[in-house]
Amino acid sequence: MARSNVSALQRIQVGVLGLLAVLLFVYIANLILERVPSRNTSTAVEGAPAAGGPAKLKDEPLAELGVTPVVEENPETAKAAQSAPR
């Protein structure tokens, strides 16, 4: 009987210690996230042309991140590219 009481007490101690460890990790993560300056997503992406507008960038996620250039389609250029001999 005495052995089961010791075992139960040890399980409670381990559970409380685990709960405190999780709370400590959450607290530290919260401190880190509060100190990191939030990025304003409404600002223009560096290297992306402002004339394209946000509607143009929504279709191209890589261009929005600035990884690839924004391809602008003009009706005149599209017709010239189609009529060009291959």
pLDDT tens-digit series, residues 23-43: 999 999 999 999 988 776 555
The C-alpha atoms of residue 63 and residue 60 are separated, in whole angstroms, by: 5
Q: How many CB atoms lie within 10 A of CB 35?
A: 7
* This prediction's pTM: 0.41
Predicted confidence at residue 39, as pLDDT, reads: 73
Higher local confidence (pLDDT), 20 or 49: 20
pLDDT confidence band for 14 (50 / 70 / 90): very high
- Give the number of C-alpha atoms closer than 13 A to the C-alpha of residue 7, restricted to the C-beta side: 4
